[in-house]
Structure formats: structure tokens, C-alpha cells
Amino acid sequence: MCPDIPELKSPELKSIEEELAKDSLCQGMEEFHGYTGSVRELKTQLLSRAFPLPQGFSRKADDLLVRFRKMSGVKEVNLCLFPEKAADPREAYIDALSRYQIGGDLAVYDEASEVWTIGIPARVFEQHNHNEALFLMGRAVWKELNTDVPYDCMLKLSSPVGFWQRVKISRLLRFREIAANALGMLYCGNMEAAVNALLHLELGLDASALQCNSSFHATLDNIDAVEELELLNRELPVIPAAPLSLYAMGQFAKTDLFQSNKTGHRANCSLSMDDYFTNVQRANDHIHPPLREMPEEDKKFRERFLIIAQYLVAEADGVILKEETQTIMRSIDPQVIEELEEEFDWVKGKNGNTLDVSREVFFRAPPEVRTRQAAEILFYCVKTSMSDGSQCEEELEALQFLANNLGIDLPDLYAIDSKAMKIIEAEEDVEEIIQV
């Protein structure tokens, strides 16, 4: 059976989930790659290889499960442990990437048998209490129940989602972590144990060894601001023990929900859940100032390379049709064409000249800028290739050339191409689809 858990999603998280669920580019990546099925299969494989703790084998594990069943309402659960490697600086990045991709705590629910299988790090059993383990189990349960589409895969697997999709997904991941932490705190009833568990996930170190000030992140002035754009440039945009997560945990510890769950009655000074969500939202905007518009460097590259790329595709078969020109002009700013003509002496409809200019424009932009704009550029290029109702072999080769230069793998190109064709056939507006 699934546990009956309180509403822990903030309005911001719900809003982003609704937006992404309607985003055709994200839908296309999920349809083609089957991220949901792939992640579930990986989780199942990992859990099947973990060390099982059947009832009666470990007294400590049996005691833990008694507490877990009481807090969660779950009756049937299999617990297993993930062994951990010895500390090795050479493995640090690999371990961090692995935690980001699949988590440090995993859960799979089998609807047919109504059985939960939960895996947690083996080291938590070195502690004298179960609070850390309960926290991690709560996180795992929430993620299993609330991540229908693993949007994080669209970032970490180098899927070429567009600029604003990346911004939304980055925010989505942060708020999902916050909600998962909240359920973990409800299960363990101890904020210090919860923080210690997160630091263990991030550092492999007991928080007591650092002599941490538990109230440090309660004051936002103590936390350095990191802009959304900087997060998008990082290999791991979300980490377990992020300052925002630690602040949110401190706020959640003050809520009437947490206080009543811990003590059986509300504290006089407790926060309502609405106030909690408001405080977390304000903190997010303070710590990670949201992008209101695309940075000038991204915008300039997108505008210029979009024009050149579309003309490359249109020129591929040696003839630029009227329909192709019309399609291109609907998606670009004529002033940018004039700038390209003046700066690069570009002549439209001349293959060699366009190819030379495309290379120069491309290499002027940093790699991260190219990546963030890749999908949007390819979407428009596919639309150009289909202007006359079909896509010839030469145009497909041009798309493959562009994908290669933009760092897009062929499977991702096929995903974009397939979804774009469906959209074009349905006569939908590309502007609405990619949400530029």
C-alpha cells in the first residue's frame, strides 16, 4: 500500500510541473528516450543487487522497520543496504555524479504486490539511532511517489532541452529536494539527524566532525547568492546539502505539521504550511535570483546562429524554395540578418559563404551557450526542412552536421526531429511549443 502523506509540494513546484507537462519539447525527449522506464529499470536493478535485510536477520533493521511502518503506514517493505566505497579523491566526482543521477536513497513500489523495496547507505547503521535512516527512507518514498517524469535526466544526460526549459527544470529539482526532505523529517522527527544525513550524502562525513552550527543557514544573509545562470553551467546543478535545502529544513521544523507530528500537539510559535511555502519561495529568490530574461550572450548567439543554421538546411539541396524563405523569415529578426551581412559579408543562398559564417558565429560563443540553445535552433531547422512538405536526404545530412557541431547525439536529434514533425503535421505553432 502507498502511504497517505500530507501535501508537501509548494505552489511554485506545482506550477513548474504543470508547465513542463505541457512542454512539447520535454514531452518529445521523454517519448523518444523513455526516461521514466529507464530510470525505474535502473533503480530496480540497483535495489536487486543491494544487500537484503530480511526480517529476523538483523535486530537493528527489524527495529527500524517497526518505526518506519508506524510513521508511514506502509505494511509491506523490504529493506536493503548499499555498500559504500572507501574514500578516494579519484572517485569523488564519480560518486557525486552517481548520487545526482540515481540518488543516495532509492525506493521502488510494486503496485501488483503492494510491496515497497527501499535501499539506504550501509553507513547509517553505524549510528546509535535510526533517525538518519528514517529520514533517507522518507526522502526515497516521496521521490518514488512524486517523480512521474524524471526531468533531471533531461539535464544530466546532455539532452538538448532549450534555455528556458533548463531554467525551469533546475528550479523544479530544487523544490523536489525540499519536498522530499520534508517527508524525511516527518518520518524521523529530528532535524539534526536529517541535516546530518544530508551531509553524509554529500561529504561522507558525520556532521559532528565538522562541529557545524545548525542555525547558520537560518539567516539568509549568511548564504551567498548564486544566480540561476551559474547553476545552469554546473555539472551537478542540485546537491543534497544545498544551502536552500538546509534553510527550508529549518523552516519546516517550525511548522505546525512537523511540531504536531513530533510532539502530538501544535507549538504556540509554529508556522502554517502556507507561511512555510512563502518563506521558502522568498529564500529561493534571494539565494538564486531568478532570470527575468535571456542573457545577452545567449540571445545574440541564438539569433545569429538560428539564421545561419536555417539557411544551411535550406541550401542543402542546392535550391532555396519560397516556402523555406518564408518559414525562416517568420522565426527571425530581419535586423539580425543585416548585421550578419555587414559584419561577415554574408551572402544568402551561397553555400560556401553560409558554411564559413556559421563556423565563425558558432566558435565565438562559449560551449555552454551553444548547448543551451541547441534544441531551439534544431526545432526551427527541422521546420525549415519540412517547409515544402518533406525532408530530403541532403537536409537531414545538414541537420546531422548541425547536431554534431552543437554537441547533440544522434538519438537526441532523432527525438527532436520526430517530435517536430508531429508538431508540424498537427499545424501547431513552434513558438508555443518551445516556449521561447
DSSP secondary structure, 280-309, as one string? HHHHHHHHSPPPSS--HHHHHHHHHHHHHH
* Nearest of 356, 194, 178 to residue 281 by alpha carbon: 178
User: Grid coordinates standing for 415?
Assistant: 527525438
Task: Assess if residue 3 is contained within a domain.
Answer: no
What is d(CA 339, CA 343) in angstroms, rounded to the nearest whole number?
6
Q: Indicate whether 314 and 379 sit together in one domain.
A: yes
Q: What is the pLDDT along the chain (436 residues), one digit of tens a residue?
A: 678 889 999 999 999 999 999 887 788 888 888 888 888 887 888 888 889 999 999 999 999 999 999 999 888 999 998 876 544 544 554 555 555 555 556 888 888 888 999 988 888 887 657 899 999 999 999 999 998 888 887 876 555 678 888 889 889 989 999 999 999 999 999 998 898 888 887 777 776 777 777 788 888 888 888 888 888 777 666 777 888 999 999 999 999 999 987 655 555 667 999 999 999 999 999 999 888 888 999 999 999 999 999 999 888 888 888 888 888 888 788 899 899 999 999 988 777 789 899 999 999 999 888 888 888 888 888 888 888 777 888 888 999 989 888 888 888 888 888 877 777 776 655 444 444 3
What are phi and psi for residue 51, nearest 5 degrees?
-80, 120
Give the pLDDT confidence score for residue 391 in this predicted structure.
83
DSSP sequence for 47-89: HHHSEE--TTT-HHHHHHHHHHHHHH----EEEEEE--PPP-G
Task: Assess if residue 4 is contained within a domain.
Answer: no
* Rg from Cα positions in the chain: 25
Domain boundary among 287, 313, 329: 287
Residue ranges of alpha helices (H) inside 107-227 are 131-146, 153-156, 163-188, 191-203, 207-210
Q: Indicate whether 92 and 153 sit together in one domain.
A: yes
Give the pLDDT confidence score for residue 1 in this predicted structure.
65
Does the CA dihedral 234-236-238-239 come out positive or negative? negative
Task: Assess if residue 2 is contained within a domain.
Answer: no
Domain count, the chain: 2
Residue 393 lies in domain? 296-434
Task: Assess if residue 5 is contained within a domain.
Answer: no
Q: Indicate whether 280 and 302 sit together in one domain.
A: no
Stated pTM of the model: 0.85
Q: Indicate whether 206 and 240 sit together in one domain.
A: yes
Q: Do the Cβ atoms of 242 and 223 come closer than 8 Å?
A: no
Domain boundary among 236, 255, 287: 287
Q: Indicate whether 125 and 31 sit together in one domain.
A: yes
Task: Assess if residue 6 is contained within a domain.
Answer: no
Q: Indicate whether 342 and 274 sit together in one domain.
A: no
* Nearest of 235, 231, 232, 273 to residue 256 by alpha carbon: 273
Q: Indicate whether 282 and 320 sit together in one domain.
A: no
Q: Do the Cβ atoms of 371 and 408 come closer than 8 Å?
A: no
* Nearest of 412, 413, 420, 415 to residue 398 by alpha carbon: 413
115 DSSP β-pair partners: 110
Strands 51-52, 106-110: pairing kind? unpaired
- How many other C-beta atoms are found inside a 10 Å radius of the C-beta of residue 145? 15
Q: Indicate whether 235 and 309 sit together in one domain.
A: no
Give the pLDDT confidence score for residue 129 in this predicted structure.
72
Q: Indicate whether 332 and 235 sit together in one domain.
A: no
Give the pLDDT confidence score for residue 436 in this predicted structure.
36
Tell me, what CATH number does 306's domain have?
Answer: 1.10.3680
User: Grid coordinates standing for 178?
Assistant: 525540499
Q: Indicate whether 101 and 240 sit together in one domain.
A: yes
Q: Is 429 helix (H, G, I), strand (E, B) or coil?
A: coil
Q: Do the Cβ atoms of 123 and 200 come closer than 8 Å?
A: yes
Can you give 225-245 as a three-state secondary structure string?
CCCHHHHHCCCCCCCCCCHHH
Domain boundary among 254, 287, 320: 287
Task: Assess if residue 117 is contained within a domain.
Answer: yes
Q: Indicate whether 48 and 171 sit together in one domain.
A: yes
What is d(CA 196, CA 209) in angstroms, rounded to the nearest whole number?
10
Q: Indicate whether 58 and 206 sit together in one domain.
A: yes
